[in-house]
A and B are shown apart, each in its own frame.
Chain A
Amino acid sequence: MMTRTIFSGFGGQGVLSMGFTLANAAMLEGKYVTYLPSYGVEVRGGTANCTVVVSDEEIASPVASEPEFVVAMNQPSFNRFQNILSAGGLICVNASLVNTDVARSDIEVLSIPTTELAERLGTTKVANMIMLGALIKASGIISFDDMIKNLGELLGEGKAKLIKLNKEALEVGFNYVKE
C-alpha cells in the first residue's frame, strides 16, 4: 500500500515538523518513505507545505499530484490543496482557522479545533501534534502505538522534556476522532 499526504499551513504552525515526524515514525516502522519540503520563495512568503509518501515498496516519486490525504492548517492551504486531493480523499482541517463551506463534494472533510484543544493543554504550540494524532487515527498510515513508543527517538535528544506534552497532544487528537 502507498499513501501520499500533503501537510500545509502558515510558516510557524509546525507544518514541516508534522510531516517530518510522520515520515520519521514510518521509517522506524520499517516502511519506505520520502519527505519532500516545499522550498524557495513560498517558504519565505509565509506559507509552507511538505509531502510525505509512505509505502510498503520502493517509492517512485516523492511528489504527490493526487494525494490521498491533505492536512490544511489555514484557509489558503485548504483552498489550494483541496483541489488536488484525489476523489474520495480525506482533508483534515484546522477548524479554528478554516471555513470549509466551499469544500468539494467528492472528498471527506475532518475538522479538528486544534487551537482550542491545544489551549486546554496550556500551549497552542502543540496544535500540530494534535492534528497529527487525528490524521493517524483517520488514515491508519502508521501505527499510533508504535509512534508513541518511539516518541523519544522521534523528537530527538534536545526535546526529551517535551515528550510528555507531545504525547498528550497526539493522544488528544487521536481520541478526538471517533471510530
Chain B
Amino acid sequence: MRCHVSRSGYRGDENLKKLMSGNAALGEAAVLSGCSCYFGYPITPQNELTEYMAKRMNELGRVFIQSESEIAAINMVLGASVAGARAMTSSSSPGMSLKQEGISYLAADELPAVIVDMVRGGPGMGNISPAQSDYLQATRGGGHGDYKTIVLAPGSVQELTKVVPLAFDLADRYRNPVVILGDGMLGQMMEPVDFDNVQPPKEYPKDYILTGAKGRPSRMIRSLLFDTKEEEEHNWKLVRKYQRMEQNEVRYETFLTDDAEMIVIAYGIGARIAKGAIKRLRQENLKVGMVRPITAWPFPAAVLQEFARTVHEFFVFEMSAGQLIEDVKLALNGRGHIHFYGRPGGIIPTPVELYRIIGRHYYMASRREQS
C-alpha cells in the first residue's frame, strides 16, 4: 500500500473528504484547474506531485514529461505556454535555483505558468527537511533582471485547493509566472481534503500565442531588445503590470488582531505553528494576534502599516535565518519594534517552543512600555 498518495486517488464524485498528501492534493487541484501540461524532474520532498501527475495526466490524455533537468522542465513549460496551454512544473529548493533562468524568460516574454516550490533546508544540497528559506528568491523574482512573480503561500492541504486554481487564474490574467511557495511539510503531510470548490479558471483571450500564422500576420515572442530605449520601455511596461498586481492581488488573513498588542507575522507552515502558539498565549490573556500573508508577493505592506498606527510590537517568525523579516521592515519603515525568531536548516520549531519565546518577548515589551 502506497501511503503517501491517497489509496484510491481522488474520486471526485462525492462530498467526502479524502486523506491526501499536500503533493497529491496539489496535483489533483491542478488537474481540476485545467492544467493540461506538467513537466518535472524528481527531487525530494515533492516527488509525490510528479508521480501523481504522471498517473493522472496519462489517464486524462494530457501532457506529462519527466524532463532531463529542472532547466528543461521550465523551458518545456515555456514552450507549452507559448502554444497556449495551461502549464505547470514543480520542484524543491536546489531545483528551483535551476528554474530561475526559465522563470526570468517567462516574465520577460509575459507568459503564464505555475511553478511549485516545496522548499527544503539549504543552502547547497542542504537536506530534505521542510524550510522557508527560499522566500527572498521567490519574492524578488529569483532570476536575472527587473521582474516579479506572484507568490502564493498556502498553509494547509485544504488551502492548496484554493491557491492552485487562483495561481492558474492570476498567471493567465496577468500573463506572468506564479509561484506556489510551500515546503516539505506541506507536500508530505496528509490531511483531509475535498475539491468541491475547485473550478477551472476562466479563459482569457490568448492573442499572443503561437499556433502557426494561419489567416493572420506572423507573431514573434522574444525578450531580446537590443535597442536600450525599447528595453527600458518594456521594463516600465512590466513595472506597471506589477503595480496593478500590488494594487489588486494582495491577500492575507488576520487572526485575533482586534485587541492585539503584539502582532506575529508568519506564513505557510510557519503561520500554522504560530497559530498554535498564539492560542496558548491567549489562554494566559496575552494579547497576541497574527497577520498571515497569503501572497508573499505582493506583500500586505499596507495592512501592516495600518496596524502600526495602534500596535507597537511585531514579531516575525519563519523557518529561515531571516528573510520575511526584510519585507516586514520595509513595510513598517521604522515604526514599531520588530522581534524575530527564525530557525534555518530544516528545523521545525514546535508551537510550545514558539509560545515560550513570544511570551518572553511580550513581557519584555510590556516592561519596556511601562518604564
Query: Do A and B come from the same complex?
Result: yes
CB atoms of B128 and A60 under 8 A apart: no
User: Are B8 and A157 closer than 8 Å at their CB atoms?
Assistant: yes
The answer on a CB contact under 8 Å between A33 and B350 is no
Tell me which of A27, A36, A60 contacts B189 (CB under 8 A): A36
Complexed CA–CA distance, A157 and B8 (Å): 8
Do B3 and A60 touch (CB < 8 A)? no
CA distance A39 to B21 in the complex (A): 12
Are A61 and B19 interface neighbours, CB within 8 A? no
* List of A residues within 8 angstroms of B184 by Cβ: 39
| Residue B337 lies at the interface, judged by CB distance under 8 Å to chain A | no
What residues of chain A lie closer than 8 Å to B219, measured between beta carbons? none
Chain B residues lying within 8 Å of A41, measured Cβ to Cβ, are: 128
A40 surroundings in chain B (CB, below 8 A)? 44-45, 128
Candidates B17, B185, B192, B279; contact of A36 at CB < 8 Å: B185
Tell me which residues across on chain B come within 8 A of A17, comparing CB atoms: 1, 3
Closest Cβ–Cβ distance, residue B160 to chain A (whole Å): 14
The answer for the CA separation of A130 and B189 in the assembled complex, in Å, is 25
- Known A-B contacts A20-B3, A40-B44, A58-B275; A156 and B8 likewise in contact (beta carbons under 8 Å): yes
Minimum CB–CB distance for B155 against chain A, Å: 10
Interface string of A29-53 (1 = CB under 8 A from B): 0001111110111000000001000
When C-beta atoms are compared, the residue in chain B nearest to A36 turns out to be: B189
Task: Contact check, B350 vs A50: say whether CB atoms are below 8 A apart.
Answer: no
How distant is the Cα of A34 from the Cα of B269 in the complex, in angstroms? 13
Residues from chain B with a CB closer than 8 A to the CB of A35 are: 19, 189-191
Within the complex, the shortest CB–CB distance from A62 to chain B, in Å, comes to 5
Whether B277 sits at the interface, judged by CB under 8 Å, is yes
Tell me whether B188 is interfacial, beta carbon within 8 Å.
yes
Compute how far the CA of A59 lies from the CA of B277 in the bound complex, rounded to whole angstroms: 11
Does B7 belong to the interface (CB within 8 Å)?
A: yes
Indicate if B198 sits at the interface (CB-CB under 8 A).
no
Q: Is A134 an interface residue (CB 8 A)?
A: no
Q: Is the CB of B275 within 8 A of A60?
A: yes
A175 contacts B by Cβ under 8 Å? no
Chain B minimum-CB-distance residue to A63:
B348
Q: How far is the CB of B318 from chain A (nearest CB, A)?
A: 15
In angstroms, Cα B19 to Cα A50, docked, is: 14
Cα–Cα distance between A32 and B193 once the two chains are bound (Å): 11
Q: Least Cβ distance of A50 to chain B in Å?
A: 7
Q: Contact: B19 with A24, CB < 8 Å?
A: yes
Total contacting residues, chain B, CB less than 8 A: 28
Contact between A61 and B7 (Cβ–Cβ < 8 Å)?
no
Those of B327-356 within 8 Å (CB) of chain A: 348, 350-352
Complex contacts, B189 vs chain A, CB 8 Å = 34-36, 62
Instruction: Name B8's closest neighbour in chain A (CB-CB).
Output: A156
Q: At the interface, yes or no: A85 with Cβ under 8 Å from chain B?
A: no
Q: How far is the CA of A19 from the CA of B3 in the complex (A)?
A: 9
CB-CB under 8 A from B191, the residues of chain A are: 33-35, 62
Q: Which chain A residues lie closer than 8 Å to B348 at the CB level?
A: 61, 63
B17: chain A residues within 8 A (beta carbon): 27
Q: From residue A158, how far is it (CB to closest CB) to chain B in Å?
A: 8
B272 and A61 contacting across the interface, CB-CB below 8 Å:
yes
Q: Is B276 an interface residue (CB 8 A)?
A: yes
**A141 at the binding interface (Cβ < 8 Å):** no
Q: Does A143 contact B (CB under 8 A)?
A: no
Q: Does A16 contact B3, Cβ atoms closer than 8 Å?
A: yes
Which residues on B sit within 8 Å (CB–CB) of A27?
17, 19, 192
Given A36-B188, A39-B44, do A60 and B276 touch, yes or no (CB 8 Å)? yes
- Is A23's CB within 8 Å of the partner chain B? yes
A14 to chain B, nearest CB (A): 8
Q: Is the CB of A36 within 8 A of B45?
A: no
- CB neighbours (8 Å) of A50 from chain B are 3
Q: Which B residue sits closest to A37, measured CB to CB?
A: B4
- Given A36-B189, A36-B190, A156-B8, are A20 and B1 neighbors across the interface (CB < 8 Å)? yes
B186 to chain A, nearest CB (A): 10
Interface-centre pick from B4, B184, B192, B352 (highest chain A CB count, 10 A): B192
Query: A65 interface residue, CB < 8 Å from B?
Result: yes
A-B contact pairs, 17 of them (CB 8 A): A17-B1, A20-B190, A23-B19, A27-B192, A33-B192, A34-B189, A37-B4, A39-B4, A39-B128, A59-B276, A60-B272, A60-B273, A60-B351, A61-B273, A61-B351, A62-B185, A63-B350
Q: Which 4 A-B pairs have the closest CB atoms?
A: A60-B276, A35-B190, A16-B3, A156-B7
Apart from A24-B19, A40-B44, A65-B352, list 7 A-B contacts with CB within 8 A: A17-B1, A20-B190, A34-B189, A60-B277, A62-B185, A63-B185, A156-B7
Binding site for B on A (CB under 8 A): 16-17, 19-20, 23-24, 27, 32-37, 39-41, 50, 58-63, 65, 156-158
B interface residues, Cβ below 8 angstroms from A: 1, 3-4, 7-8, 17, 19, 44-45, 128, 184-185, 188-192, 269, 272-273, 275-277, 279, 348, 350-352
